Structures are given as structure tokens and as C-alpha cells.
Amino acid sequence: GEDVEQSLFLSVREGDSSVINCTYTDSSSTYLYWYKQEPGAGLQLLTYIFSNMDMKQDQRLTVLLNKKDKHLSLRIADTQTGDSAIYFCAENGNTGFQKLVFGTGTRLLVSP
Amino acid sequence: EPEVTQTPSHQVTQMGQEVILRCVPISNHLYFYWYRQILGQKVEFLVSFYNNEISEKSEIFDDQFSVERPDGSNFTLKIRSTKLEDSAMYFCASSVEPGTNEQFFGPGTRLTVL
């Protein structure tokens, strides 16, 4: 079945780059997503990448996809304290109406 | 900026009671979803809804659950007879099309079953 795994915790200093990693099992995924969840809030879509792309850049965010290894990463440049949150990787299968399968979430803590 | 809204933000109920969780998706969106997140666990898909019918549902979405779009704006999740294990955060989401499937999530309803 589909499964998405992430490391649970990442701590960085303000101004550094953060790299959050994700592995998935469903090779039929057409899109992969990164969501951000701040305390007490819902899931905010940050960015997504189509499965035939290797990289996508969106301002401070860079998504890298290694389809062969089923590995997805999110790099946040110049990390700020406001980036502290839980980051979820998600993939859709090839199921037509496209439920999302989420990872466990990575808690990013940015210290001043 | 349009957003998905959910009410109530927190619902406390007794085991065996019925609850209805409400969502207002983004107005031009056509696809609607419910997910749940039990404390400390992954966000799990429950059901997707399109054109006034369920398009996909998970194993969690058993006969105790139902969804409805009673009018042009609301999308509801009903749990007929709540169990302790239904305690979770329930998220509604919507998307305009299944292509890129950018799903926009509401803030969630925290359901506590006592």
C-alpha cells in the first residue's frame, strides 16, 4: 500500500538552510506536495511538484524529486523563526479522484 | 483570499451521540474531502466527494460516517454514533479540479468523544 515517511524533527538556526526529507512508496504518484501546519492551524499548501520534474523553485523554497529512489526534499533558504512549524509531505496516487497520502510530518524548530 | 472554513472549532460529545461537522469549501471548487488526524498520528484520508456523490472512501469511512452537500455552499460530515476512537482533528479540504489536485484545507474541527 501507499506509505510516506519523514524524519520527525529538525532544528536549525535562523538564517541557515533547512532540508526536510521524505520517502514514498507509490511509484504511480503524479504529484507530490509539501504542506505546512502551524500550531492550532490547518494545513497550508506550500508547493507541489509534478512527477516528471526533478526540481521546482519557488522563492525561498526548493523542491527536489528523485523518482528513482522515491525521495522528495524541501529546502528552505534563509530559514526564519516564522518557519517553525510541522511540514508534511504528501503524495496522490493514481486513483482518479486523488486522495492525498500524508507523511508523519517533520517538526522544524528555528532558533534565533 | 478565499479560504475553507469549518465549524465548530471544537466539539465535545458523549459516546454514542451523533455529531455533524460543517465545512464551507472555496466557492468555485468542485471536489471536496474530509481527512482526520488522531493526536500524534498521520493525517488520514476519509472520503472525497464530487458531483453530489462519494467518489472515493477509505476503510475508516464505515457505515457510521456520511457526507452531504445540503446546499450550494456547505459540506458536512456526520458521525452517527460516536466512539472514543473517533476523537481527532477533522479537516475539510476542497480543490477546483483533480488535475494538479491542489487541495486547500480548513483550520479543522477538534472532536472530543467522552
- B25-71 pLDDT, tens per residue? 999 899 999 999 998 888 999 999 998 999 999 999 999 999 999 88
Mutate to test the interface with B, among A2, A95, A98 (most CBs of B within 10 A): A98
Other Cβ atoms within 10 Å of A8 Cβ, number: 9
Q: Alpha-carbon distance B21 to B26, whole Å?
A: 17
CA B18, B23, B27 angle in degrees (round to 5)? 155
The shortest CB-CB distance from B102 to any of A45, A96, A104 is to: A45
The count of CB pairs under 8 A between chains A and B is 60
Task: Return all residues near A15 (Cβ < 8 A) that are at least 6 apart.
Answer: A78, A79
Rg from Cα positions in chain A: 13
> In this structure, are residues B82 and B19 in contact, taking their beta carbons and an 8 Å threshold?
yes
* Structure confidence at residue B59 (pLDDT): 92
Q: Alpha-carbon distance B47 to A99, whole Å?
A: 8
* Structure confidence at residue B47 (pLDDT): 95
> In this structure, are residues A71 and A77 in contact, taking their beta carbons and an 8 Å threshold?
no
With bands split at pLDDT 50, 70 and 90, how would you rate the model's confidence at B82?
very high
Phi, psi for residue B58 in degrees, rounded to 5: -95, 175
Q: Long-range contacts for A48-54 (Cβ within 8 Å, ≥24 apart)?
A: A48/B100, A48/B102, A50/B100
- Name the strand (E) or helix (H) holding B90: strand B88-95
* Structure confidence at residue A1 (pLDDT): 63
* Structure confidence at residue B102 (pLDDT): 86
> In this structure, are residues A4 and A22 in contact, taking their beta carbons and an 8 Å threshold?
yes
> In this structure, are residues B69 and B30 in contact, taking their beta carbons and an 8 Å threshold?
no
Does residue B86 have a pLDDT over 90? yes
Q: Residue-wise pLDDT tens for chain A (112 aa)?
A: 678 999 899 999 999 999 999 999 877 778 899 999 998 788 999 999 988 899 999 999 999 999 999 999 999 999 999 999 999 999 886 665 578 999 999 999 999 9
The shortest CB-CB distance from A99 to any of B45, B50, B105 is to: B45
The shortest CB-CB distance from B56 to any of A48, A88, A99 is to: A99
Q: Which three cell numbers stand for residue A32?
A: 507530490
* Structure confidence at residue A94 (pLDDT): 62
Nearest-CA residue of chain A relative to B6? Answer: A42
The shortest CB-CB distance from A100 to any of B50, B55, B103 is to: B103
Other Cβ atoms within 10 Å of A94 Cβ, number: 11
Nearest-CA residue of chain B relative to A92? Answer: B101
CA A45, B76, A105 angle in degrees (round to 5)? 30
CB contact under 8 Å between B56 and A97, yes or no, is yes
**Chain B: nearest CA to A74, how far in angstroms?**
17
CB contact under 8 Å between B91 and A43, yes or no, is yes
CB contact under 8 Å between B45 and A101, yes or no, is yes
> In this structure, are residues A10 and A83 in contact, taking their beta carbons and an 8 Å threshold?
no
